[in-house]
Amino acid sequence: MNALLMTSCVLATPASATPASVPKGMIRVCTNKSCRKDGAHDTLAVLRLLASTAAADAAVSDLGTSASNGAAVQAAFAAEHVEACGCLGQCGKGPNVALCDGAVEKCELFHDVHKPRSARALLSEAGLSISDEAAGAVLKRAFALRALRECRPDEARDLVTAGLNQAGALRLDASYLLSEMLELRADISDELRDSDAAAADRVQAERLRAATPQAA
């Protein structure tokens, strides 16, 4: 089992951190001051990007049909399964993330959740299956963001492009992920003063967001 899961512990979280009723499998990301400094908002984004790609599988399970959900549905699905919250305790070990089980009002607390691999393992524990293509694309996004922080925008754009090519295999099942990565590439193109490329990516992202879901 992933090292992140092996070193986690089961804790009853403070009343202020967990509402009276939490859906089984809900993932809660602390975005309080300490965890925020440790990158909690990117952890939240990574978890939601990955979770959004599991929406089609959930539709198959719930409805018994094959469906490509639109980007808005995928984003809403991710938000239903991954949410921001207040302090979970054990500050200084973040980003801290809790996997909650409403049936027993108990949360399993995980520390230092920032890598896409850790996020994928946590989503698996929550019952969401994430494809290799989605995981690979989000990993390249992480590398691209690091390249941007190190003032290497050309490399960052190449990494996002590679991620888009990888996630593209999922087609409309990854509409939300693809649209977000296109927006990121557009921002990078703006930084590189490539306005034509930025505009083209934003048009493509909007088309994905507007795409009509299709059921088989």
Q: What is the pLDDT of residue 92?
A: 87
Under 8 Å between Cβ of 43 and 85: no
**What is the residue whose two structure tokens read 């539709």?**
59
Q: What confidence tens digit (pLDDT) does each residue in 39-79 have?
A: 999 999 999 999 999 987 765 444 343 445 689 999 999 99
pLDDT above 70 for 190: yes
Distance CA 81, CA 23 (A): 8
Instruction: For residue 79, give both structure tokens.
Output: 């938000």
pLDDT above 50 for 212: yes
Mean pLDDT of 82-103: 86
Q: What is the pLDDT of residue 2?
A: 45
